[in-house]
Amino acid sequence: MVDQAIWSKKMSNGTRRIPVSPEQARSYNKQMRPAILDHCSGNKWTNTSHHPEFLVGEEALYVNPLDCYNIHWPIRRGQLNIHPGPGGSLTAVLADIEVIWSHAIQKYLEIPLKDLKYYRCILLIPDIYNKQHVKELVNMILMKMGFSGIVVHQESVCATFGSGLSSTCIVDVGDQKTSVCCVEDGVSHRNTRLCLAYGGSDVSRCFYWLMQRAGFPYRECQLTNKMDCLLLQHLKETFCHLDQDISGLQDHEFQIRHPDSPALLYQFRLGDEKLQAPMALFYPATFGIVGQKMTTLQHRSQGDPEDPHDEHYLLATQSKQEQSAKATADRKSASKPIGFEGDLRGQSSDLPERLHAQEVDLGSSQGDCLMAGNESEEALTALMSRKTAISLFEGKALGLDKAILHSIDCCSSDDTKKKMYSSILVVGGGLMFHKAQEFLQHRILNKMPPSFRRIIENVDVITRPKDMDPRLIAWKGGAVLACLDTTQELWIYQREWQRFGVRMLRERAAFVW
């Protein structure tokens, strides 16, 4: 699929690309041997002679494998990394995050932890969030770390603040996940939210496989080695691109500077591999990810005993109101024997419509809605078929362009869709490739519905708003959010949280909790 897409598209001068087979590069690369630049690489393992209790960041990455340390990754695929292994409980993951944040605040911001009571903070959460995890994070920040106040907001909305755009389709390509949603006037539309289980690290892994196929001369490279993973990420960022005009074999070189090892220089040749790897974002089956859900939609939360007005309560209340209204209608229709049959048919046919109305209001958790026990079997069958459809959809590996089109198509009106097609903002560090903007724009234009293609003057794909680093856009937006006058109503203070708990999120959050 990827090879066909590359060869089918013409270059800017109108000529077709000349395909380069991996065998052409392999015959050259197999002959290459490293040159020794220096007998000492200049890099060292982290000094652990004083037996520190924990190490954070690059110090943790450069721990000698022979040292007795466990490496914890508290966030995986954009969510808290809850797993059955050591350090995989929610309590342990939160403790790891507290250690990382506390270390960064003391080392880089030079703020003593005892002074955090004089500071407030902004917490950015994913668009598809777990309410239990958000609640525990807020509790940790206010009650354990000791901040005096907090504002919780969604990262997509903050990305619009950071870029200065009011309405746009946000595409956040991270290291391990890619999220897409449409934001209009500071509101993230719930039905448009998607999270895809691939990102920049998967491109690095794919690039490694393609280089191996082309005879990668560094034959000792292993994905299980932290140093090699850092090297592969560097090679991806240096060599990969989305420029259709670059074709044929090119010579490249790279250095390896592992701790306690000589510095080595490798030379090798690559052809289309540099284009094929980032194109896997549009053909994610190339990643070969198995055993997990590829696409995540916004589902209903499981409910919280501390939150008296969660979705389950609102649904149950709504269901009781509908039952009461239906009983009243039944009593009225009983006094009209002539129209009795017609009324019953009307109520029965109205059931799927009411079910559908509930689903639309609740977004893509539509299939999980609670139903009254006396509703018809047909509606239950429709509900189960919808659950099956959602399950099948979430099992699909949507390409980045198809995910954007699906997200925009879920907008409620054509006017909103037109706005989103006209402005697509790419943030995060996973798509920072040469010519990525033009490549994505071309694919969206080719695949968008013809009805919109006729009325939309320009599809604007923005990859570097205001020439800022796209990896920092959401954090810039968080800083802007803290300065807004309207934000003063959103602060949750420590004493309020201590007294009212999660209810404060429902009262103060700038989004529907």
User: Quick one: 166 and 223 in the same domain?
Assistant: no
Kindly indicate the confidence band of residue 363, based on its pLDDT and cuts at 50, 70 and 90: very low
Give the whole-number percent of the chain exceeding pLDDT 90: 68
- Which of 129, 139, 57 shows the shortest CA–CA distance to 100? 57
What local confidence, expressed as pLDDT, does residue 8 receive? 73
Kind and range of the H or E run holding 154: strand 149-154
CATH number of the domain residue 214 falls in: 3.90.640.10
- Which of 195, 194, 157, 155 shows the shortest CA–CA distance to 176? 195
User: Quick one: 387 and 410 in the same domain?
Assistant: no
100 part of a folded domain: no
471 part of a folded domain: yes
186 part of a folded domain: yes
Burial of 4 (0-12, 13-18, 19+ CB in 10 A): exposed
What local confidence, expressed as pLDDT, does residue 345 receive? 37
503 part of a folded domain: yes
CATH number of the domain residue 168 falls in: 3.30.420.40
Summarize pLDDT for 447-496 with one digit per residue, the tens. Answer: 999 989 888 888 999 999 988 999 999 999 999 999 999 999 999 999 99
Summarize pLDDT for 32-59 with one digit per residue, the tens. Answer: 999 999 988 889 999 999 999 999 999 9
User: Quick one: 429 and 500 in the same domain?
Assistant: yes
User: Quick one: 208 and 276 in the same domain?
Assistant: yes
Kindly indicate the confidence band of residue 321, based on its pLDDT and cuts at 50, 70 and 90: low
User: Quick one: 383 and 402 in the same domain?
Assistant: no
The total number of structural domains that make up the chain: 3
Kindly indicate the confidence band of residue 347, based on its pLDDT and cuts at 50, 70 and 90: very low
User: Quick one: 194 and 241 in the same domain?
Assistant: no
69 part of a folded domain: no
User: Quick one: 361 and 440 in the same domain?
Assistant: no
Lowest mean pLDDT among 283-292, 358-367, 491-500: 358-367
Which of 362, 395, 428 represents a domain boundary (last residue)? 395
Cα distance between residue 192 and residue 409, in whole Å: 8
Summarize pLDDT for 116-157 with one digit per residue, the tens. Answer: 999 999 999 999 999 999 999 999 999 999 999 999 999 999
- Which of 181, 166, 73, 202 shows the shortest CA–CA distance to 126? 181
Lowest mean pLDDT among 16-25, 278-287, 341-350: 341-350
pLDDT at 326 over 60: yes
Where do the H-state alpha helices sit in 219-339?
226-239, 273-279, 311-334
* Rg for the chain, CA atoms, rounded: 27
What local confidence, expressed as pLDDT, does residue 182 receive? 98
Summarize pLDDT for 395-448 with one digit per residue, the tens. Answer: 778 999 999 999 999 999 999 999 999 999 999 999 999 999 999 999 999 999
User: Quick one: 134 and 193 in the same domain?
Assistant: yes
Mean local confidence (pLDDT), 363-374? 39
Which residue range(s) make up the domain with 460?
Answer: 123-198+398-513
What local confidence, expressed as pLDDT, does residue 389 receive? 67
252 part of a folded domain: yes
pLDDT at 349 over 60: no
pLDDT at 333 over 90: no
Which of 280, 303, 319 represents a domain boundary (last residue)? 280
What local confidence, expressed as pLDDT, does residue 357 receive? 37
Q: What is the residue-averaged pLDDT of the chain?
A: 86
What local confidence, expressed as pLDDT, does residue 155 receive? 97
User: Quick one: 487 and 402 in the same domain?
Assistant: yes
211 part of a folded domain: yes
This prediction has a pTM of 0.84
What local confidence, expressed as pLDDT, does residue 296 receive? 87
Q: Is the dihedral of CA 286, 406, 349, 301 positive or negative?
A: positive
Helix, strand, or coil (residue 22):
helix
146 part of a folded domain: yes
> Do the beta carbons of residue 203 and residue 284 sit within 8 Å?
no
User: Quick one: 406 and 510 in the same domain?
Assistant: yes
Which of 280, 297, 329 represents a domain boundary (last residue)? 280
pLDDT at 269 over 50: yes
Cα distance between residue 26 and residue 28, in whole Å: 5
Summarize pLDDT for 51-94 with one digit per residue, the tens. Answer: 999 999 999 999 999 998 999 999 999 999 999 998 999 999 99
Is the model more confident about 277 or about 326? 277
| DSSP 8-state assignment for residue 475 | H
What local confidence, expressed as pLDDT, does residue 255 receive? 96
What local confidence, expressed as pLDDT, does residue 364 receive? 37
User: Quick one: 257 and 337 in the same domain?
Assistant: no
What local confidence, expressed as pLDDT, does residue 16 receive? 80
What local confidence, expressed as pLDDT, does residue 369 receive? 36
- Which of 503, 512, 506, 491 shows the shortest CA–CA distance to 141? 491
- The helix-helix angle for 200-213 and 226-239 (nearest 10°) equals 90
User: Quick one: 147 and 227 in the same domain?
Assistant: no
What local confidence, expressed as pLDDT, does residue 488 receive? 94
| DSSP 8-state assignment for residue 381 | H
